[in-house]
Amino acid sequence: MASPMRSLCSNPARYLQSFRLFLANSTEHQSMREFMERRLPDVIASIGNGKSTINILSVGGGAGEIDLLILSKVQARYPGITINNDVIEPSADQISKYKERVAETSNLENVKFTWHEETAYKYESRMNAEKKSKKWDFIHMIQMLYYVKDVPATIRYFHSLLEAQAKLLIILVSGTSGWEALWKKYGSSFPLDDLCSYVSCADVKRILDSAGLKYQLHELLSHMDITSCFIEGNEDGELLLDFLTETCDFSKTAPPELKRQVMEELRKPECSEKRDGKVLFNNNLSVIVIEP
């Protein structure tokens, strides 16, 4: 009998709703912001040397929160320089949020934004069809490799677009996170389609090592409050469960035994810790900075 479970990616509105709740309930962006404040200046220290324009490509830029922070760091390093910031983002809703954010942000006079409402794969196909291979001084792919069909090929393609002093920055869940524990055990039971797959830093490291690429690795601590997941019928809890399992309406459509096992797994120390009466899921991230 066919399972009634559907991939969360098949329902873009619910996906966005659960994703935004995940951001509100986790220290994800806080951890990234700390990295951008503390470590990014070193990463971008020479990307614009000798240039009159810096070209930045944001792959999966979302609503632009982290993109604008990255831009502020590039501006601080290269005051007054012209920056072309191209954004690949398939969600029209996220792009309109991004544009609102840009409109509300000062000091962006020297930044030219171009949005491409398409997936990374569509962008690559379009560039190949147009026989274009524009080079970039900085490319970042933040929490987006789960949504590409072919991870090694995607990394290879964007890496091939780096200028001589450029960097490719990837952020993904860490191999030591609760995601790894949950998905290594139950991923095959979740209804993944070709829109979405599980990949962690451990997988990307293997890809980079086999390609012989040079990279630096940084681990970021992060957690997500999943206490509401254990309150039967709680709407936020159900949305967070959907996000954790990439399943639309997981608590309503999952077989009872799978649901029981997943709920049990989420409480285990490999996934979460209990603190002040809350269940905090390990959302640790890895930042990988790849050399040209």
pLDDT tens by residue, 225-278: 999 999 999 999 999 999 999 999 999 999 999 999 999 999 999 999 999 999
Domain count along the chain: 1
Residue 218 lies in a domain: yes
State the maximum Cα–Cα separation within the chain, in Å, rounded to a whole number.
63
Q: Are strands 6-7 and 247-248 parallel, antiparallel or unpaired?
A: antiparallel
d(CA 139, CA 277): 41
176-to-8, 36, 200, 204 alpha-carbon distances in Å = 24, 21, 9, 14
The predicted pLDDT at position 195 comes to: 65
Q: Starting at the earlier edge strand, list the strands of the sheet with 272-275.
A: 223-225, 278-282, 272-275
Q: State the CATH number of the domain containing residue 31.
A: 3.40.50.150
Please state whether beta strands 136-142 and 6-7 pair in parallel, antiparallel, or not at all (unpaired).
Answer: unpaired
Residue 133: predicted pLDDT: 82
Say if residues 270 and 190 touch (Cβ distance below 8 Å): no
- The confidence score (pLDDT) of residue 4 equals 84
Does residue 1 form part of some domain?
no
User: Is there a domain that residue 284 lies in?
Assistant: yes
Percent of the chain with pLDDT over 70: 98
Say if 174 falls within a structural domain.
yes
Instruction: Note the pLDDT tens digit of each residue in 134-152.
Output: 999 999 999 999 889 899 9
For residue 128, say whether it is annotated as part of any ligand binding site.
no
In a domain, 207, yes or no: yes
Question: Rounded to whole angstroms, how far apart are CA atoms 126 and 121?
Answer: 9
Residue 220, beta-bridge partner list = 285
- Cβ contacts of 166 within 8 Å, gap of 6 or more: 47, 135, 136, 137, 138, 139, 292
Range of the domain at 62: 6-43+51-290
Provide the token pair at 87.
Answer: 């954004």
Please tell me the distance from the alpha carbon of residue 165 to that of residue 291, in angstroms, as a whole number.
8
Residues of the chain with pLDDT under 50: 1-2
What pLDDT score does 12 carry? 87
pLDDT score recorded for residue 1: 40
CA atoms 254, 257, 261, 264: torsion sign: positive
Q: What is the model's pTM? A: 0.89
- β partners of residue 167: 138
pLDDT of residue 3: 59
260 within domain boundaries: yes
Asked if residue 28 belongs to a known ligand binding site, the reply is yes
